[in-house]
């Protein structure tokens, strides 16, 4: 497998980004249109600025789109190669998993699982060390946030079972 091969070309990513930012612009216009977009006796209405910001975002995105399409000047410039993408996903997918787990199990449990997973399978640490460190982090989280600084963190069903808040 060719690791240096381009997975996504720079040009196509430029196009995709311009389309997304343009889409955000359209959403802003749509949201602003609910409000007064005019300039009355008392100055601009509440939709005046958002409406125009939305239009300008679309115009600037169009410029980016046209430049990306026309120039093709990025030529064969690469956005990510296979190897890079694999590294990014190897790091990014566990983060996604962490977020999803947090929503169901709370931040503590998710943090333990996530930290242990990354340290064991990607860092190559001994399971005992990794799990121990992960638990230590969870204990530190609990001490620092809810106990010392009285900032409650997201908890899940397991904490509820244990009677922790």
Partner 1 sequence: MANLDSLFHGFVVALTMQHVMLMMVGVLLGILVGVLPGLGAPNGVTLLLPLTYTMDPVGAIILLTSMYWGALFGGSTTSILFNIPGEPSSVATTFDGHPMAKQGRAIQALSFAFLSAGFGAMVGVIVTTLLSGWVTSFALQFSSPEFFAVYFLAFASFVGLSAAQPSKTIVSILLGFAFATVGMDTISGSLRLTFGFDELLRGISFLIVVIGLFGIGELLLTMEEGLKFEGVRAKVSLAGVLETLVRMPRYWVALIRGSLIGVWMGITPGGPTAASFMSYGLAKRFSRRREHFGTGEPEGIIAPEAADHGAGTAAMLPMLALGIPGSATAAVMMGGLMIWGLNPGPMLFIERPDFVWGLIASMYIGNVVAVILVLATVPLFASILRIPFAIIGPLIVVVCFIGAWTVGASKPDLWLALIFGIVGYVFKKLDYPIAPLVLALVLGDKAEDAFRQSMLMSQGSLNIFFSNPLVGTITTLAIILVTWPFWAGLMRRVHLLRIRQPKVIE
Partner 2 sequence: MIPKVINAQRALGFAASAAMALVLGTAPAFAQAEWKPTKPVEFVGAAGAGGGTDIFARAVQLAIQNNKLIDQPILVSNKGGGSGAETFVYVKAAEGDGHKLAFGTSNLYTLPMVAKVAFKHTDFMPVAAMVFDEFILWTKGDAPYNDYKSFTTAAKAASGPFKMAGALSKDTDQTLTRLIEKDTGAKFVYIPFKSGGEASVQLTGGHVQSHVNNPSESVGHWKAGQLKALCVFSKERMAEGPKVTPTQSWHDIPTCKEQGAGIEAYQMPRTVALPPGTPQATVDFWAGVLKKVTETPEWKDYLTRTAQTGRFMAGSNLKAFIDEDEKRTRKVYEEEGWLVN
Write out the residues near partner 2 by the rule CB under 8 A. 42, 146, 150, 152, 165
Other CB atoms closer than 10 Å to residue 107's CB: what's the count?
Answer: 21
The one of partner 1, partner 2, none whose footprint includes residue 99, by CB under 5 to 8 A per kind, is partner 1
The one of partner 2, partner 1, none whose footprint includes residue 165, by CB under 5 to 8 A per kind, is partner 2
The one of partner 1, partner 2, none whose footprint includes residue 119, by CB under 5 to 8 A per kind, is partner 1
Q: How far is the CB of 163 from partner 2 (least distance, A)?
A: 9
| Residues paired with 44 in a beta bridge | 39
Is 128 or 161 the residue whose CB approaches partner 2 more closely? 161
Site map 91..130 versus partner 1, x via CB under 8 A = xx-xxx-xx--xx---x---x--xx--xx--xxxx-----
| Residues paired with 78 in a beta bridge | 9
Our finding on whether 47 is near partner 1 (CB under 8 A) is yes
Calpha distance 141→158 (Å, rounded): 16
Calpha distance 2→71 (Å, rounded): 27
Calpha distance 163→142 (Å, rounded): 14
In angstroms and rounded to an integer, the radius of gyration of the C-alpha atoms of the chain is 24
Q: Residue 81: which H helix or E strand, with range?
A: strand 78-81
Calpha distance 105→27 (Å, rounded): 33
Calpha distance 112→102 (Å, rounded): 10
Q: How far is the CB of 69 from partner 1 (least distance, A)?
A: 13
Calpha distance 55→32 (Å, rounded): 11
Residues in contact with partner 1 by the rule CB under 8 A:
10, 13-14, 17, 21, 24-25, 27-28, 31-32, 35-36, 39-47, 49-50, 53-54, 56-57, 60-61, 63-64, 67, 79-80, 83-84, 87-88, 90-92, 94-96, 98-99, 102-103, 107, 111, 114-115, 118-119, 122-125, 133, 137, 141, 144-145, 149-154
């Amino acid at each position: 497998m060719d690791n240096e091969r381009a997975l996504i070309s720079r040009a196509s990513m430029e196009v995709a980004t311009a389309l997304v930012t343009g889409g955000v612009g359209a959403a802003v216009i749509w949201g602003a249109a609910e409000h007064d977009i005019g300039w009355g006796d008392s100055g601009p209405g509440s939709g005046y600025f958002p409406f125009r910001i939305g239009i300008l975002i679309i115009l600037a995105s169009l410029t980016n789109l046209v430049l990306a399409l026309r120039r093709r000047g990025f030529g064969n410039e690469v956005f990510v190669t296979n190897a890079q993408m694999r590294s990014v996903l190897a790091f990014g997918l566990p983060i996604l998993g962490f977020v999803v787990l947090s929503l169901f199990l709370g931040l503590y449990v998710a943090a333990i699982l996530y930290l242990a997973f990354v340290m064991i399978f990607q860092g190559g640490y001994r399971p005992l060390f990794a799990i121990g460190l992960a638990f230590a982090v969870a204990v530190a989280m609990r001490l620092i946030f809810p106990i010392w600084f009285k900032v409650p963190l997201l908890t899940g069903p397991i904490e509820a079972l244990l009677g922790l808040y």
